[in-house]
Structure 1
Amino acid sequence: MSAISSIVGPSSSPGGIQQIMAMRQQIIDRSDLLKQIHATQAATPSDTANVQAPAQGFATTLKTALDSVNSVQNNAEDVTDAYQKGEVTDVAKVMLARQEAGVAFEATLQVRNKLLSAYQDIMRMGL
């Protein structure tokens, strides 16, 4: 008895093995996608400073970032609701969306803390 059939069970058909291989490929694809996202996010801070035009103001940049975080959180909420209704059966997709929303929120929170700290430092400076 092979290792795959012992995991799946003795009554599994070749279709069951194909399903397992398809699930494996989905996991690999998602892993590759996450690596691309992390690589893009790691490259973004240094590239953004050089690429942005001076015409774009701080408020516009901040609003764009907050809108992006909001859309990620809305997507996570939609996927979670769909899972609770039984429309989505892929738990990994739900967990990935929720984790992405959590990371985006934490990053936003850290940026807010840094901005607040910088503001307080500026206010403490004597003229």
Structure 2
Amino acid sequence: MSNSHMLAEMALMKRGASHAPLHANTPSEKFSDLFIDALKNTNAIQSQASDLTRRFVSGESGISAADVMRMNHKSEISMEATKQVRNKLLEQYKEILNTQL
């Protein structure tokens, strides 16, 4: 994955964020749908990293160690972000369960 590809992804994410709803009371998508999409994206990134690593180790030409390291780092970041969201969800769920009515 080249730097230009990563910059293009970041630009795409920026454009998507600029179209986010301005009011918190008018969500355009359900949180569960967004979370499922994020999980699928994390899984896809991990699969890509694993595949790229396997291809590099088998000696396929055109794949550099830097590409493998970059993709594995992206995979680690994606997984860590997913874990953090999960942890916050569990915290909030526990707080709701402990709420006295």
TM-score when scaled to structure 1? 0.62
Percent identical pairs in the alignment equals 29
Give, in whole Å, the separation in 2 of the partners of 1:90 and 1:70.
Answer: 22
Q: CA offset at residue 35 of structure 1? A: 4.8
Which amino acid in the other structure matches residue 50 of structure 1?
A: P
Of 71, 83, 100, 2:44 maps to: 71
When the two structures are aligned, how many residues end up with a matched partner?
A: 95
Give the match for residue 21 of structure 1. Answer: none
Q: 1:108–1:57: structure 2 CA closer, same or farther, 3 Å change rule?
A: same
Give, in whole Å, the separation in 1 of the partners of 2:9 and 2:85.
Answer: 19
- Higher Rg of the two aligned structures: 1
Of 80, 91, 94, 2:65 maps to: 91
Q: 1:86–1:96: structure 2 CA closer, same or farther, 3 Å change rule?
A: same
Give the match for residue 21 of structure 2. Answer: 50
Structure with larger RCO (C-alpha < 8 A, sep 6+): 2
Q: Which runs of 5+ in 2 are unaligned?
A: none
Q: Which protein is richer in helix relative to its size?
A: 1
Q: Which aligned pairs between 1:1-127 and structure 2 lie closer than 5 A?
A: 30=3, 32-35=4-7, 37=9, 43=14, 47=18, 49-50=20-21, 53=28, 56-88=29-61, 89-127=63-101
Give, in whole Å, the separation in 2 of the partners of 1:115 and 1:49.
Answer: 22
Structure 1 vs Structure 2 CA RMSD? 2.6
Q: 1:36–1:74: structure 2 CA closer, same or farther, 3 Å change rule?
A: same
Q: 1:107–1:39: structure 2 CA closer, same or farther, 3 Å change rule?
A: farther
Q: Which runs of 5+ in 1 are unaligned?
A: 1-28
Which amino acid in the other structure matches residue 42 of structure 2?
A: V
TM-score when scaled to structure 2? 0.76
